[in-house]
């Protein structure tokens, strides 16, 4: 009996050792080599030991401890073990997150940059704070108060704008009322009638001005050779003609200036007629005066062409007598 008991105890001990060895070996194979890291947050959000650690959404480790930082009690120290092959780098950022809305919080680590240096074991991973629900509620409350104040201000502005709009509408109604409409209609009717009455007269006046301009141009064309002949005569005249050359040239210059003024006035009259200037009566009077002056000048030149060369009429030449 004693031998059987001893053998049984030995077998049980061997089986226990074997099972323990298999358990540790399998656990080591399943978990693999782990590397410790740490990070710090101001708000843990219910994170507990054993929570998952995600790298780019892939589970790479677990949280080993969540505790206040011994050196700074205003932040939470989070220790974690991460799979050794995980490429954590200096630009990776740890933050509190969750896979779904109903799951427990996890530590989510961003992938960082491929050019950034790898983080050594036991180093600190930079963190990004997550807004807590309390902070969110407080901001919503502040936003609601601001929105209420803004709504009150907008309501006051809307009332002012509404009052101005009503006043503008009343003014427009008064401006576009029936008496004003009738008055405007009468003004337009009178204007149409006046334009209808004046249109034939304006057409005739325009034709007369055009004809007057053409006559003035013809007169100037006719006087051109005469002026040239006068210049030639003056150049070839004797000493007496040379003595009166300066007064003659002055008269010619004044005549030319008068003709230029008349031409400019005719051009101004044409422009005024195109614009239908209201002072057409005065303009026509000036045109008549200029026409009379031109007619007088023309008649004077026709009757006394020698006045262009000499101031006084020359005496009749005496018939020479034979001795």
Instruction: Give the pTM.
Output: 0.37
Domain boundaries, the chain: 33-130, 199-308
Residue matched to tokens 């008269």: 251
Q: Which two tokens stand for residue 228?
A: 């040239």
Cα(157)–Cα(206) distance, rounded to whole angstroms? 60
β-strand 52-55 against 106-109: which pairing, if any? parallel
* CATH code for residues 33-130: 2.40.30
Cα(13)–Cα(9) distance, rounded to whole angstroms? 6
- 248-274 tens-digit pLDDT: 677 778 777 877 877 777 777 667 666
Cα-only R_g, the chain: 58
- 305-323 tens-digit pLDDT: 666 565 555 555 565 666 5
- 66-88 tens-digit pLDDT: 999 988 888 999 999 999 888 99
């Amino acid at each position: 009996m004693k031998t059987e008991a001893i053998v049984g105890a030995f077998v049980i001990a061997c089986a226990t050792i074997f099972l323990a060895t298999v358990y540790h070996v399998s656990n080591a194979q399943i978990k693999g080599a782990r590397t410790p890291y740490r990070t710090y947050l101001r708000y843990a959000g219910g994170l507990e030991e054993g929570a998952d650690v995600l790298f780019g959404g892939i589970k790479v480790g677990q949280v080993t401890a969540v505790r206040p930082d011994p050196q700074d009690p205003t932040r939470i120290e989070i220790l974690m073990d991460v799979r050794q092959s995980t490429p954590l780098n200096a630009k990776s950022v740890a933050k509190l997150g969750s896979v779904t809305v109903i799951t427990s919080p996890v530590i989510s680590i961003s992938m960082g940059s491929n050019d950034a240096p790898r983080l050594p074991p036991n180093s600190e991973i930079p963190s990004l704070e997550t807004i807590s629900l309390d902070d969110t509620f407080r901001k919503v409350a502040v936003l609601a108060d601001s929105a209420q104040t803004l709504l009150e201000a907008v309501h006051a502005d809307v009332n002012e704008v509404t009052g101005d709009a009503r006043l503008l509408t009343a003014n427009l109604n008064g401006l576009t009322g029936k008496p004003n409409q009738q008055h405007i209609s009468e003004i337009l009717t009178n204007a149409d009638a006046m334009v209808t009455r004046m249109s034939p007269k304006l057409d005739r006046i325009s034709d007369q001005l055009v004809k007057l301009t053409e006559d003035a141009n013809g007169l100037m064309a006719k006087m051109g050779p005469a002026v040239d002949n006068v210049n030639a005569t003056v150049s070839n005249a004797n000493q007496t003609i040379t003595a009166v050359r300066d007064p003659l040239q002055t008269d010619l210059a004044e005549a030319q200036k008068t003709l230029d003024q008349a031409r400019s006035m005719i051009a101004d009259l044409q422009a005024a007629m195109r614009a239908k200037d209201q002072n057409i009566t005065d303009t026509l009077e000036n045109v008549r005066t200029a026409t009379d002056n031109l007619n007088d000048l023309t008649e004077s030149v026709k009757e006394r062409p020698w006045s262009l060369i000499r101031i006084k009429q020359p005496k009749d030449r005496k018939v020479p007598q034979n001795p």
